[in-house]
């Protein structure tokens, strides 16, 4: 009968919103540490430095490229040295996760400004930590979500469209993994874990409905460099709906297989949502879902250019051995077991190989 729900305090999505950063910072603190993706550092450190010149004692720092223990410790030390009362992350999911962890360790407020809509990291209290080489190490569930998530659609559309599409791949998993957790009776990630609320389940369903309806229109508009209603809806689905859905319902084998894939060097050039999309196909096979559902997912991925085969993931040599390696890694993670289906090395191995076969036959 118990249940729990977590979310950021505020979510704001509006064109040109990054230029209003100071207005949003003022209620949170006056000594911000602003952590910015390396690719964007020169651009935003200069423009935001001018905008935040009055009323703030701001320090800008360039993100090191990986959300690892080493980088988290470095940024945390800088935040402490600066006396930051708010940490701002500007960039992709790993930048934001590093900022979230530094804010947590220094008891500072946290403001997330995603510059791509490729993952649902901005809204959550979950931080995924990798090795310096990009192999997933562990996930931390922080006691609170970001104070504010600030999304500027013009910034999102300016990024390569591949990131937006990868976000759709990540969002594709939201409802399927929520359903897996509901059927298995497993818990979400709020306050130690509770059953999902009806609100969370509705959000996960709506996330799926939005991406199925708007994905192609949004991709084409983004390729044209314009912000349309479809683009706005997909940004919300990738960022807010998917973020609230996964954190409040739970993830499952789609993310478990994604995490396990990080042990293979050849997949490190792929984006999170691209790997998750293939993991979704594996989950549907593992749970023996109706062929119509698998076919719909295959069409969705193929239309958008998301991976549907092992070759799409650059896994073309020593395939049986590598699939076994991935399966062994996947079953070590708790999230892979959040499903009603039997989960063991053989089951995961079979699901991966069968999903690959379905992808090649499509």
Cβ–Cβ < 8 Å for 40, 115: yes
| pLDDT for 120 | 87
Share of the chain above pLDDT 70, in %: 100
Rounded to 5 degrees, what angle do the CA atoms 138, 352, 203 make?
Answer: 60
Give yes or no: 97 in active site. no
| 337 labelled catalytic | no
pLDDT tens-digit readout, 279-336: 999 999 999 999 999 999 999 999 999 999 999 999 999 999 999 999 999 999 899 9
* pLDDT tens figures, 251-280: 999 999 999 999 999 998 999 999 999 999
Region 219-240: what's the mean pLDDT?
98
pLDDT value of position 189? 96
Query: Which CATH number is 10-157 given?
Result: 3.40.50.1970
How far from chain centre, in Å, is Cα 4? 21
Write down the domain spans for the chain: 10-157, 252-362
Residue 115: which pLDDT band, with cuts at 50, 70 and 90?
very high
Phi, psi (5° rounding) for residue 283? -60, -45
Known catalytic residue at 140: no
Q: How confident is the model at residue 217 (pLDDT cuts 50, 70, 90)?
A: very high
Options 255, 312, 337, 356, the catalytic residue: 255
Radius of gyration in angstroms for the set of CA atoms belonging to the chain, rounded to a whole number: 20
Q: What value does the mean pLDDT take over residues 200-220? A: 98
Residue 127 main-chain phi, psi, to 5 deg: -120, 125
Q: 274, 271, 280: which is closest to 252 by C-alpha?
A: 280
Instruction: Write out the two tokens for 331.
Output: 């079953």
Q: What is the mean pLDDT of the chain?
A: 96
The active-site residue, picked from 170, 233, 259, 356, is: 170
- The tokens for 101 are 């962890």
For the chain, what is the HEC assignment? CCCECCCCCEEEECCCHHHHHHHHHCCCCCCEEEEECHHHHHHHHHHHHHHCCCCCCCEEEECCCCCCHHHHHHHHHHHHHHCCCEEEEEECHHHHHHHHHHHHHHCCEEEEEECCCCCCHHHCCEEEEECCCCCEEEEEECCCCCCEEEECHHHHHHCCHHHHHHHHHHHHHHHHHHHHHHHHCCCCCCCCCCCECHHHHHHHHHHHHHHHHHHHHHHHHHHCCCCCHHHHHHHHHHHHHHHHHHHHHCCCHHHHHHHHHCCCHHHCCCCHHHHHHHHHHHHHHHCCCCHHHHHHHHHHHHHHCCCCCCHHHCCCCCHHHHHHHHHHHHHCCHHHHCCCCCCCHHHHHHHHHHHHHHHHHC
Domain 252-362 has CATH 3.40.50.10800: no
Q: Provide the 10 A C-beta neighbour count for residue 24.
A: 19
- Of 272, 312, 337, 356, the active-site residue reads 272
d(CA 346, CA 342): 10
**Residue 209 confidence (pLDDT) above 90:** yes
Q: Which of 97, 258, 259, 337 is catalytic?
A: 258
Taking residues 169-173, what's their average pLDDT? 98
pTM for the complete prediction? 0.95
Angle between helices 198-223 and 161-184 (to 10 degrees): 160
Q: Are 156 and 277 in contact (CB under 8 A)?
A: no
CA 156 to each of CA 164, 251, 278, 301: distance values in angstroms, whole numbers, following the listed order: 8, 25, 24, 21
Pairing of strands 86-91, 126-130: unpaired
């Amino acid at each position: 009968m118990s249940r729990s729900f977590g979310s950021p305090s505020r979510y704001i999505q509006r064109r040109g919103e990054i230029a209003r950063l100071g207005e949003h910072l003022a209620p949170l603190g006056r000594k911000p540490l602003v952590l910015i993706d390396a690719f964007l550092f020169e651009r935003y450190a200069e423009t935001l430095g001018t905008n935040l010149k009055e009323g703030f004692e701001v320090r800008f720092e360039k993100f090191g490229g990986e959300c690892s223990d080493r980088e988290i410790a470095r940024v945390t030390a800088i935040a402490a040295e600066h006396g930051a009362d708010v940490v701002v992350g500007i960039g992709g999911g790993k930048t934001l996760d590093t900022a979230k962890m530094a804010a947590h360790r220094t008891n500072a407020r946290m403001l997330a400004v995603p510059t791509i809509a490729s993952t649902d990291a901005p809204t959550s209290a979950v931080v995924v930590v990798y090795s310096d080489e990009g192999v997933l190490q562990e996930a931390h569930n922080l006691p609170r979500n970001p104070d504010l998530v600030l999304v500027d659609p013009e910034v999102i559309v300016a990024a390569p469209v591949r990131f937006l599409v990868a976000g759709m791949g990540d969002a594709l998993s939201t409802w399927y993994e929520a359903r897996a957790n509901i059927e298995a009776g497993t818990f979400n990630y709020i306050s130690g874990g509770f059953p999902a609320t009806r609100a969370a389940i509705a959000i996960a369903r709506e996330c799926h409905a939005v991406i199925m309806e708007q994905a192609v229109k949004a991709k084409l508009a983004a390729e044209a460099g314009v912000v349309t209603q479809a683009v706005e809806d997909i940004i919300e689905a990738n960022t807010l709906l998917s973020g609230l859905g996964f954190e409040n319902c739970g993830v499952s084998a789609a993310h478990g297989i994604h995490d396990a894939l990080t042990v293979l060097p050849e997949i490190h050039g792929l984006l999170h949502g691209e790997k998750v999309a293939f993991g979704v196909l594996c989950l549907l096979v593992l749970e023996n879902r109706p062929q119509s559902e698998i076919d719909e997912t295959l069409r969705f991925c193929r239309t958008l250019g998301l991976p549907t085969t092992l070759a799409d993931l650059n896994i073309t040599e020593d395939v049986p051995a590598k699939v076994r390696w991935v399966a062994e890694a996947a079953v070590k993670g708790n999230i892979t077991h959040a499903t009603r289906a039997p989960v063991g090395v053989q089951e995961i191995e079979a699901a991966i190989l069968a999903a690959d076969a379905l992808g090649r036959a499509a």
